Structure 1
Amino acid sequence: MTFQGSLPADRAQSYEEQRASPRFALLLRAAKLVGAEGEYLCIVRDVSETGVRLRLFHSLAAERRLALESAAGERLGIEKVWENGGEAGFRFDVSIDVQRFIAEAGPYPKRPIRVGVEDVARITVSGETTVARLRDLSRQGAGIDIDRHLAIGQHLRIEADALPEFEATVCWRRHPSYGLVFRQLMSLEELAVRAFRMQPGRLR
């Protein structure tokens, strides 16, 4: 792990204590970071009671205070200690139960990570295109708000400036909100990069 710059003595001591805690490898465990500027996909590399190391798909820039959300919806407050070479180290606000973290215990059943976004999408049904608001993205689907009424099981195409055309099916509805499942599957990296481009706090 490499620091960018030096830390005050009290924070450096805290970091050394964090490094001394037993760490558990969690390769390819997808999670979500929630910050003041948006939401970001990440991968948990290892974890201890006091901190976690994450693989990033892009720089977090000015984001320092965030929440780490698991696939089961549990959120933990974290503070960025270092960021370098596509990875970053974070300190938990309070010590955690590592086994609970590894088991991805949380308030909801585990499901694919959905990243909140804010963008305009174009929905095409039977040759007619309507503008919709894109609310979230996962590897398998999206959540949209649209004035047009859609039916469960209806087939359509969706695209946005940062999203190529995907064929999709309506899987749930609570008008004007709808859930779509894609016929294609995005990779984690593809989802992370596309969702990053749709964050409301990002300068475009």
Structure 2
Amino acid sequence: MRQGLASSTIFSLSGEAPGAQMLAEPGDHAAFDSAVLVGETTRLPCSLRKLSAAGAMLHLDDEIVESEGLHLALANGQSLPGRIAWTEQGAAGFLFETPIDVVSTLARNLACLPAERRSVPRVELHQTICVRRGNQVEFTRSRNLSQGGCGFETDIALQEGDPVQINFDGLRPLDGVVKWSQGSFAGVAFGEDLPWQVLMPWLRQAQQTPSHHTRMAVIQEPTGLIPDKQAIRLDVPARVREGVRWWNVKLRGITPQLVEFESRAPFANGAQLWISLPNIGGGPASVIETDDRHRFLCEFRLPLKAGDLQRIGA
């Protein structure tokens, strides 16, 4: 069974099983990871087009006779029991009896290869990311990530060759160039590949604490960590840096001395952060309070000016 250098198989962090709508997507069957569909009277070689926690989409050259009591044997030695849910145009949907750990499957795939040949294929995941092109900044949603690049939704009119910077929660800023742009979607190739030793533990964390895409808005929120009734209440995407790692957060409130934000990041009381604020740049702050809603209250090292608050509120 093939376990090649650059797999085209999509590994999804979604809990949903792949559907037949993927059939329209282009792809080289020879580049997909190989597998074998095994039953009581069946042993069919197949290609693994997409794999999620709930199931897999397979490419098959032969017709499936059995639909129940099957096992999907992967190149890494895993044997996954399940059944055929649908067939169409030489493809089939395979549902697992019990959900699998996709990141563990990726890790097993890597372990089967020599260290110099290990490469993480494209992983489908939807997270809030920050995209920068020059002085344009957009908080949007990712579609996939690999060691060499990513795909995402965008409202910026990106052109092939445009230099951009991409920020995923908990990773260093990733510089790259636009490889393609079509409608509201774009793909970027990183200037330097993410090492698999960095990407794999990050994917594990992303699988456990998924991020959700948010839209910029101003809301009236009755309660918050900031005790000042004159605080500006917000629902505005922003970024926070701790050390070399950046996180995409949601601002909830701000005064000249304090800022409150929501994040899944594991910030501790006393953590020293740099908070990037919309329209004014940013500044250093310290975490002084947290709560069970994933809210963090920080105190600015230097108070903001009244004009700064007006620009943020706008």
- TM-score, normalization: structure 1? 0.50
- TM-score, normalization: structure 2? 0.35
Select the structure that is richer in strand.
1
Larger radius of gyration: 2
